[in-house]
Amino acid sequence: MAKIRDRTEDFKDAVRHTAVSLGYNESKLAAIMASFIIHKPRQRSPFTKAALKTLESIGALEQFMLKHRKDYVDLHRTTEQERDSIEQEVTAFIKACKEQIDILKDSINDEEANTKGWLGIKADTSNADTIAHKHGVVLILSEKLHSITARFDQLRAIRFQDAINKRIPRRKLNRAANKNTSSVDSSKTNNLEFKEPDEIQPEPLGVQQQLLDDETRALQVELTSLLDAVQETETKMVEMSALNHLMSTHVLQQAQQIELLYEQAVEATKNVELGNKELSQAVQRNSSSRTFLLLFLFVLTFSILFLDWYS
């Protein structure tokens, strides 16, 4: 068996001499040879760029939530205004990511509509696989955003629950203080009732002071009851705000599902219309074939009769 000779160096020399004869200098030749060895990265499609940008936005949202999680949950670290600003920034993040995902969905729907033929049948199998891959990418991004939104809803529920727990002990203390003041007032009035007239008459200023104190305590009791009512209303408002946010989250999910059902219904309607057209065309072809068959039988019968008469 003959030995195999390595002619790689000879091939490189031949290529180099040919390139020099065509006017290539050494630097240009080296760049071309390097381009053969180190390939340039493929140009990413607009969909891939938009998907990667959306993924970066979702990652930035997740990092922001991890960074400000303790500031948002702990009531002693930040004020209410700072927690509201954190909530507004997270809501803006989520809205921006949702809009980017909707843009990706619209681009997929447009591409899918353009690839369908006049019968609604997908022409290219490879393009159908690409569209299915894009649908999977959008589904992954949506699930990731939904998981982050669910975690933020849990943090919001913790914040509202802490706010409710903070207000409930204050109301209990106020009620206990009101009971103590009322008991003290009742004991003082009883002591005044048991005093003799000789003791009350020489102290008119004391009686007036006692009346003023009683009016002040009555006003305090009334203001305390009003404060309890205000705190109770505030607690109910906080609970309503939490329920409103949860309801808006569920409504948003239902809106997405309704939009998906609407798109599927529109596509099903188009398919039914195309099926009706195909059925009408089939009926026409059937009627024309039947007419042709009758004409053929008539001509054949006439030909047989003619041949029989002719013979």
Q: Letter for the amino acid at 124?
A: D
List all residues 6 or more positions away from 207 whose beta carbon is below 8 Å from its beta carbon.
Answer: 200
Which phi and psi angles does 2 have, rounded to 5°?
-70, 145
Provide the token pair at 194: 């048991």
Q: Is 116 helix (H, G, I), strand (E, B) or coil?
A: strand
* 27 in Cβ contact with 113 (< 8 Å): no
Does residue 105 surpass a pLDDT of 80? Answer: yes
CA distances from 180 to 169, 183, 192, 217 (A): 17, 5, 18, 11
Question: What pLDDT is recorded for position 304?
Answer: 87
Q: Tokens 């002619």 — which residue?
A: 7
Residues in the chain: 311
Looking at the DSSP bridge assignments, the partners of residue 122 are: 116
pLDDT tens digits for range 53-68? 999 999 998 998 888 8
> Nearest Cα to 101, choosing from 74, 47, 52, 138?
138
CATH class of 43-168+220-281: mainly alpha
Lowest mean pLDDT among 62-76, 163-177, 216-230: 163-177
DSSP H or E stretch at residue 223:
helix 204-310
pLDDT tens digits for range 235-286? 777 777 777 777 777 777 777 778 788 778 888 888 888 888 888 888 888 8
Does residue 1 surpass a pLDDT of 50? Answer: no
What letter does residue 5 receive in the DSSP assignment? P
Helix segments in 194-203, DSSP class H: 197-200
What letter does residue 92 receive in the DSSP assignment? H
* 245 in Cβ contact with 153 (< 8 Å): yes
Sequence spans of domains, the chain: 13-41, 43-168+220-281
CA distance 270 to 272: 5
What is the mean predicted confidence (pLDDT) over 133-144?
88
DSSP H or E stretch at residue 64:
helix 46-67
CA distance 133 to 117: 20
Does residue 192 surpass a pLDDT of 60? Answer: no
Q: Is 122 helix (H, G, I), strand (E, B) or coil?
A: strand
> Nearest Cα to 91, choosing from 155, 141, 163?
155
CA distance 97 to 105: 12
pLDDT tens digits for range 208-241? 777 777 778 888 888 888 888 887 787 777 777 7
* 97 in Cβ contact with 61 (< 8 Å): yes
Question: What pLDDT is recorded for position 174?
Answer: 52
* More confident position, 196 or 256: 256
Q: Letter for the amino acid at 139?
A: L
Question: What pLDDT is recorded for position 268?
Answer: 84
* 51 in Cβ contact with 139 (< 8 Å): no
What is the mean predicted confidence (pLDDT) over 36-51?
77
What are the b/e assignments for 113-135, b being 16+ CB within 10 Å?
eeeeeeeeeeeeeeeeebbeebe
Does residue 200 surpass a pLDDT of 50? Answer: no
Question: What pLDDT is recorded for position 198?
Answer: 44
DSSP H or E stretch at residue 136:
helix 125-193
